[in-house]
Amino acid sequence: MLRWLAVVAAGVVVACGSAPANGNAKAPSSVVVFAAASLQPPFDRIAAQLRTRDDIATTFNYAGTQTLTSQLTQGAQADVFASADTAHMTAAQQAGLLAGGSQLFAHNRLEIAVAKGNPKGIRSLADLARPGLVVVLADPAVPAGKYALQALAKAGVSVRPKSLELQVTAVLSKVALGEADAGIVYVSDVVTSGQVDGIAIPDGQNVIADYPIAQLQSAEHKEAAKEFIDFVVSPDGQSILKTAGFETA
Amino acid sequence: MTQARIPGPLIALAAAGLLLFLLPLAGLVVRAPWDQLGGELTAPETLTALELSIFCSLTATAVALVLGVPLALLLSKTTGTVRGLLRAVTTLPMVLPPVVGGVALLLAFGRKGLIGAPLNDAFGIQIPFTTSAAVIAETFVAMPFLVIAVEGGLRSLDPRYEQAARALGASGWRVFARVTLPLLRPAIFSGAVLCWARALGEFGATITFAGNLPGTTQTVPLAVYVALETKPQGAIVLSLILLAVSLAVLVGMHDRWLGEP
C-alpha cells in the first residue's frame, strides 16, 4: 500500500514537473461539466484535446439529462451543462441556473440497434411488431424512450417491449449481449458501441434530438467554461462529434 | 447485576451514527405528500408494483428456504478449506454490487448464457425479462442472509440431541426432519424474514437481469426509480410503503436475527 502510494506520488511529481516544459506559461485550470450520458464518447475526446492544447483539466458528471437537471436544481456546483434535449435546458434557464443563453451544438437521430449481421432481418420500425421478437426500449421517462415512442407513433407501429430500460445505454447492452433482438437507440450509440448494427429509420418517422450547451450561473471557472464551450462548437469539436455519430449544429 | 457505563464520547459517536440512519427517514416522512397518500396508494401502477413485489419476494424466500437450509447444513458440517470456499461462494452475493450480480446472471441464464443458451435451443425457454427472472435475481441476492442465519443456528445447536436420536436408530433423514429442523425453527424463521426483506428491496440485479416492465418485472424499488424522474411524489409514497413494511418486520423480530431469543 505504502509503495503504491509512493508510486502515485512520484507520478504526480513527474507530471507537475513536466508541465512547464511544454512551454505553455498558462497556469493549469479546470472545468466541471455536467453532460448527458450519450455525450460521453465525444466529450472524453474533447477533454483529452483541451488538456494537451490548453492545459485545461475537465471533470465530467455523465448521467441522464433529467437526473442532471434535478441535481443542478438542488444546488450542485458545475461550470457547464450539456443537455440531450431543449426541454431540460429551458427548465434550467427558467430556474435561473444559466449564466446567459444556451446554444445548440449537435443533433442525434434514432436508429434501430440489432445484433451484428442482423440475424433477424429487421428492416424497419414495422418489423419490431413481429411476434416472437424481443424488443427493448428506454422508459418514457428517459429522453431516448420518449423519442422512441414518438417515432413508433409516427410509423403507426405498436410494439410490446419486453423491458423499459432506465437509460439508453442499457438498451444498447441488452442488444449487444444478445438478450434482446432489437432496441431503439441514438445513432451515436451505435457508432461508438461497435458491438451492434444500426438499421436506419427514415426521416419521416425519425425524431431528432437537439443538444444545447450553456455556461452555468454558479460557474467557478468561468474562463475555462467558456473555452470548453468554444471548443465544442469549433470546427475541431464538431468534427469529433461527427466522428462519434452526431450531426453537427 | 451492574451495567457497564458507556463513556460519554462514545455515546456522542453512537448518536451521530443513529442520526445518519434517522435523518434520511425523517426526510421521507416530512416531505411525504400526506394529503395525496390515499390516491397514490390506490393508483393502479402502485398496486401493480406492490402486488408483483410481494409475489416475487415471497417466492424468492420459498426458493431460498428449499435450497438454503440444506446449503447451511452442508456449510455447518464441512471444515477447513472446503468450508472457507463454500462460505465465500455463498456470501459473495452479499458483498457483490447487485448490478454485477445481474450481469453475471445474464451471462449464466441469458439467451446466450451458459445454461440459458442450451435451454433456449432445446426448449425455447427464455428467462430474462420474465417474472421468473425477477424471482431468480431476488433469490440470488437474498438467500445468503438465510444461509448465514441458519448456519449460525446449526453451529450453536447442541450435537447431543442428534447423536442421541442416531443412537436410538433414527435414519439421517429422520434425524434431520424430527430433531434438527424443529430445533432450528427460530434461526430459520429469522433468516427467512431477513431474506424476504432483502428480496423486497432488491433493485440492481433485477433491473439488469429481468428488466423493467410494469406488471411483469417492475417491482416497487424499480417503480420508485422510474417515478423519481416523472412524479417524485409517487416515488416518496412508494418509498414510504417499503420503509413501513421493512420497519414493521425488523421491529416485530426484536433481536431474534442476532440469535437471541
3-state secondary structure chain B: CCCCCCCHHHHHHHHHHHHHHHHHHHHHHHHCCHHHHHHHHCCHHHHHHHHHHHHHHHHHHHHHHHHHHHHHHHHHHCCHHHHHHHHHHHHHHHHCCHHHHHHHHHHHHCCCCCCHHHHHHHHCCCCCCCHHHHHHHHHHHHHHHHHHHHHHHHHCCCHHHHHHHHHCCCCHHHHHHHHHHHHHHHHHHHHHHHHHHHHHCCCHHHHHHCCCCCCCCCCHHHHHHHHHHHCHHHHHHHHHHHHHHHHHHHHHCCCHHHCCC
Query: How close, in Å, is residue B195 to chain A by CA atoms?
Result: 26
| Three cell numbers, residue B199 | 428480496
**How high is the pLDDT of residue A143?**
84
Q: How close B49 comes to chain A (CA, Å)?
A: 14
Which segments within A156-207 are labelled E, that is strand? 163-165, 182-186, 196-200
* Dist. CA B151–CA B157, nearest whole Å: 10
pLDDT at B1 over 60: no
**A19-33, A221-235, B174-188, B243-257: lowest mean pLDDT where?**
A19-33
In chain A, residues with a C-beta closer than 8 Å to the C-beta of B229 are: 64, 66-67, 141-142
pLDDT of residue A65: 85
Q: Rounded to whole angstroms, how far apart are CA atoms A198 and A122?
A: 10
Residue pair A163/B217 in contact by the 8 Å Cβ criterion: yes
In chain B, residues with a C-beta closer than 8 Å to the C-beta of A166 are 207, 212, 225-226
CB distance from B2 to chain A under 8 Å?
no
pTM of the model: 0.80
Tell how strand A29-36 and strand A80-82 pair up: parallel
User: What value of ipTM does the predicted structure carry?
Assistant: 0.80
Hey, is the C-beta of B132 within 8 angstroms of any chain A C-beta?
A: no
Q: What is the pLDDT of residue B127?
A: 94
Q: Which helix (H) or strand (E) holds A72?
A: helix A65-73
Stretch B216-230: mean pLDDT: 88
| Residue of chain A whose Cα is closest to the Cα of B225 | A166
Q: How far apart are CA A65 and CA A71, in angstroms?
A: 10
Given B126, B207, B214, which is nearest A166 (Cβ)? B207
Q: Could you tell me if B63 and B139 are in contact, meaning their C-beta atoms sit under 8 angstroms apart? A: yes
**What is the reported pLDDT for B61?**
97
Residues in chain A, total: 249
Closest Cβ–Cβ partner in B211, B214, B229 for A136: B211
Q: Give the strand pairing for A103-115 and A196-200.
A: antiparallel
Nearest alpha-carbon partner for A151 in A116, A197, A185, A114: A185
Is A126:A153 a contact under the CB 8 Å cutoff? no
Interface test with B, best of A177, A181, A195, A196 (most B CBs within 10 A): A177
- In Å, how far from its chain's centre is CA A177? 21
Please give the grid coordinates belonging to residue A149: 415512442
How far apart CA B206 and CA B132 sit, in angstroms, is 11
| Per-residue model confidence (pLDDT) at position A12 | 43
Lowest-pLDDT range of B7-16, B42-51, B244-253: B244-253
Helix (H) or strand (E) holding A137: strand A135-138
Q: Which three cell numbers stand for residue B154?
A: 446449526
Q: Is the pLDDT of residue B251 over 90?
A: no
Average pLDDT over residues B101-105: 95
pLDDT at B3: 67
> Is B229–A141 a contact, with Cβ atoms under 8 angstroms apart?
yes
Nearest residue of chain A to residue B231 (CA atoms): A141
Cα–Cα distance between A156 and A150 in angstroms, integer?
10
Residue showing cell 437450509:
B69
Task: Tell me how many degrees the CA angle A210-A211-A214 measures, rounded to the nearest 5.
Answer: 135
- R_g of chain A, CA atoms, integer Å: 20
Q: What is the pLDDT of residues B125-162, one digit of tens each?
A: 999 999 999 999 999 999 999 999 999 999 888 889 99
- CB spacing of A179 vs B213 below 8 angstroms: no
Angstroms from A166 CA to nearest CA on chain B: 7
**Percentage, residues of chain B above pLDDT 90:** 63
CA distance A119 to A168: 22
First to last CA, chain B: 20
| Residue B213 near residue B129 (C-beta atoms within 8 A) | yes
Nearest 5°: CA angle at B141, between B138 and B146?
A: 100
Nearest to A162 among B129, B207, B225 (CB): B129
C-alpha dihedral sign at A135, A136, A138, A144: negative
A177, B110: Cβ pair inside 8 Å? yes
Q: What is the pLDDT of residue A41?
A: 92
By a Cβ cutoff of 8 Å, what residues of chain A touch chain B? 64, 66-67, 134, 136, 139-142, 161-166, 170, 174, 177-179
Pull the grid cell for residue B113.
Answer: 448464457
Distance from CA of A165 to the nearest CA of B (A): 6
pLDDT at B252 over 90: no
How many residues are listed for chain B in this entry? 261
pLDDT of B34 above 70? yes
Amino acid, res. B9: P
- pLDDT tier at B254 (50, 70, 90 boundaries)? low
Cα-to-chain-centroid distance, residue A79: 17
Largest CA-CA distance found in chain A, in angstroms, rounded? 64
Contacts of B213 in chain A (CB under 8 A): 161-164
The answer to whether residue B76 scores a pLDDT higher than 70 is yes
Q: Nearest chain B Cα to A64, which residue?
A: B229
Instruction: Check pLDDT > 70 for residue B256.
Output: no
Positions of chain A with pLDDT under 50 = 1-3, 5-26
CB contact under 8 A, B207 and A139: no
B212 has a chain A CB within 8 A of its CB: yes
pLDDT over threshold 50, residue B250: yes
